[in-house]
Amino acid sequence: MKTCRHVFAVVLFCGTAICAAGQSAVSVEFRTEADALYQKQDWKAALPFYEKIAAAEPYNPGAKYRLGVCLIGLNRHREAIAPLEGLMTASPNVVFATALARAYAGAKERGKMFEVLEQATKLGGIPATTLDGSAEFAAFRSDNKFRELAKRLDVAANPCNGSPEFRQFDFWIGEWDAKNAQGLTVGSSSIQLILSNCVIFENWNTPVNSGKSFNVFNRNDKKWYQTWVDDKGNINHYTGTLIDGKMVMVGESPNVTPRTLLRMTFSKLPDGSVRQLGESSTDDGKTWTQRYDFTYVRKPGKK
């Protein structure tokens, strides 16, 4: 099964490119005009263009998709069903499923709409924003079955929003000044939630060095992973878990003798600040020596 990104690329490319075998009878200028009208959502003007392209290029899925979308835009939902059903049969994916479900919804074919949406949960899901932005689903939003299915579709499309484990480290997100045990500011960090709320992205800066890390929860082994890189060419990998409300990550200092383990413990403090305690061990974790003790204090006016 293709990823959503690849599917969208195919749809966008095939809408304007020659996807049929051999030479197409449709000119580049004709195709360019069709694309411009489609982008403006001038469905009435775009429709005859895509009717001609789809007829000239029967193996062009992008043309059939855009033909179906034009028909939906003109409230000709029943006419849109046939080309979109053909696409789903030939190449089932969430892009085609969303359009077909819209066509069924506009045609008031409730059962068929649910059938396609159920299929979409196994194809990668549909974000809630997409369902909310489609007028055809408005009549079904008070339907309990539709609401339950919409939640499952959103979780399938955005899996990191559907699992509480991904939110265990959110207490570190924010704009911070990092202070040492003496209360002196030693650096600043911008901790951001990125990639559909799946990754916590650290941006660390001091007058002498800068670094970044990616922090992500692995659903397979139920552990957190951090990869750290800095402007000195250093790379470190850590593995962690939440223990008594504290994120504890352990890694190994590369190319060091004797073998040295590194441990970071992140704790949310009562005032909302975050403590990061750094330690090292040269006896496989039997004893630990403190390396640093930072407190992340939110920058004024920042969350």
Domain boundaries, the chain: 4-157, 165-298
d(CA 61, CA 90): 9
23-32, 95-104, 223-232, 241-250: least confidently modelled range: 23-32
Q: What values do phi and psi take at 241, rounded to 5?
A: -145, 160
Looking at residue 8, what is its pLDDT?
46
11-20, 37-46, 82-91, 283-292: least confidently modelled range: 11-20
Convert the pLDDT of each residue in 134-146 to its tens digit. Answer: 999 999 999 999 9
R_g of the chain, CA atoms, integer Å: 26
> How confident is residue 82, by pLDDT bands cut at 50, 70 and 90?
very high
Share of the chain above pLDDT 70, in %: 92
- Fold classification of 165-298 (topology level): Lipocalin (2.40.128)
d(CA 179, CA 185): 4
Domain made up of 4-157: CATH architecture: Alpha Horseshoe (1.25)
Structural contact between residues 74 and 80, judged by C-beta atoms closer than 8 angstroms: no
Copy the structure tokens of residue 176.
């911070």
Convert the pLDDT of each residue in 121-175 to its tens digit. Answer: 999 999 999 999 999 999 999 999 999 999 999 999 998 987 899 999 999 999 9
Structural contact between residues 251 and 234, judged by C-beta atoms closer than 8 angstroms: no
User: From residue 249, how far is each of 173, 193, 288 by CA, in Å?
Assistant: 17, 19, 14
Give the contacts of 36 (CB within 8 A, at least 6 positions apart).
none
